[in-house]
Amino acid sequence: MKALVCRSLSADLNDLRLEDIELPAPGPGQVKLRMHAAPTCFQDYLMVQGLYQVKPPLPFTPGLEGAGEVIAIGDGVENVKVGDAVVAGLGTGAFAEEALAAAHAVRPKPEALTWDEASCYFSAYLTAYVALYRRANLQAGETLLVHGAAGGIGLAACDVGKMFGARVIATASSREKREVLKARGVDHVLDVTQGFRESVKDLTDGRGADVIYDPVGGAVFDESCRCIAFDGRLLIMGFASGVHAKLATNYALIKGFSVMGVRAGEYGRNFPEKGIENIAWVDRMAATGKIHPYIGGRFPLEQARDAIAMVNERRAIGKVVVTML
């Protein structure tokens, strides 16, 4: 079978090669999948450079999650059977025609979603749910400011914020991205390249945003500290700008706001019962058709490097999906 293989760590995506490899039979507690689709994300780019916190041994196939059909099961697997349509958290291995997954990380594919949508809804919406519900306790009527809002986790945050009854203000860097956000029902869309502090304060009668969702960092974080409401919650989702921002603690003191780091998977591992509830909520929303991830790009497996580059170069809107069939 064909798979995208990383044999050396490098910032040059040309080191990723499509190769013919042989995947072993599933071992105890494992499932083999015929992959239909898998999303790209910024973590893929970090991982092939060795910059992500998870560092798989070389060689490896990138791809954190995906959707496909069960074609074989190992001993002790009872939650799925051959022929089932499923989604799976893989960690690595999704950019391939076939992949191995732990059976406990495999769940039924929501019928309301296409293969492409099913491949990419889970991590983005789980991240948004943990951030906004578990960490920030976002309430109906509050104002949510979402940065990087046209990205996969940004669009998910806008959707979840609206579900919770919040007023959503989103920032994005291009007209195309802002038009997509408007079409998705975001209340106010701002051009982040023109600054956003004064606009946010104007839109909130000077109070500021109650919750700020920041996957960007850098200067965006600094400006966010100047337009957050008293008792607000500033969520650290990542550092897509490449700059780990430093908090001027005098702002936090005077304005009485909290800064919260968010790692959805780690939250579930530390609070297993809540983790199960989180997964159930996201899957229920998908199964009932209440969430549909926006897919801004589709690439065949042969062009998986281009898909990763699109995300890394900030050209992506929503999720970019690699398709195998």
Answer whether residue 240 shows pLDDT above 90.
no
> What's the pLDDT band for 291 if we cut at 50, 70, 90?
very high
pLDDT for res 53: 83
Strands of the 188-191 sheet, one edge to the other: 188-191, 167-172, 143-146, 209-214, 228-236, 258-261
Global confidence as pTM: 0.93
Where in the chain do CATH 3.40.50.720 domains reside?
Answer: 123-266
Question: Angle formed by the axes of helices 42-49 and 304-312, to 10°?
Answer: 100
> What's the topology of domain 2-113+292-323?
Quinone Oxidoreductase; Chain A, domain 1 (3.90.180)
pLDDT digits (tens, 9 = 90+) for 97-125: 999 999 999 999 999 999 999 999 999 99
Residues 6 or more apart whose CB falls under 8 angstroms from that of 158 comprise: 146, 149, 168, 170, 181, 184, 185, 186
123-266, which class in CATH? alpha beta
> What's the pLDDT band for 22 if we cut at 50, 70, 90?
very high
pLDDT digits (tens, 9 = 90+) for 36-85: 999 998 889 889 988 888 899 999 999 999 999 999 999 999 999 999 99
Answer whether residue 12 shows pLDDT above 90.
no
> What's the pLDDT band for 14 if we cut at 50, 70, 90?
confident
pLDDT for res 319: 95
Burial track 88-100 (b if 16+ CB lie within 10 A, e otherwise): bbbbbbbbbbbbb
Averaged pLDDT, 222-248: 93
Answer whether residue 164 shows pLDDT above 90.
yes
Map residue 136 onto helix, strand or coil.
Answer: coil
> What's the pLDDT band for 236 if we cut at 50, 70, 90?
very high
Burial track 301-324 (b if 16+ CB lie within 10 A, e otherwise): bebbbebbbbbbeeebbbbbbbbb
- Mean pLDDT (the chain, rounded): 95
The beta-strand segments (E) located in the chain are 2-6, 16-20, 30-40, 65-73, 85-89, 98-102, 106-108, 143-146, 167-172, 188-191, 209-214, 228-236, 258-261, 295-300, 319-323
Map residue 11 onto helix, strand or coil.
Answer: coil
Where in the chain do CATH 3.90.180.10 domains reside?
Answer: 2-113+292-323
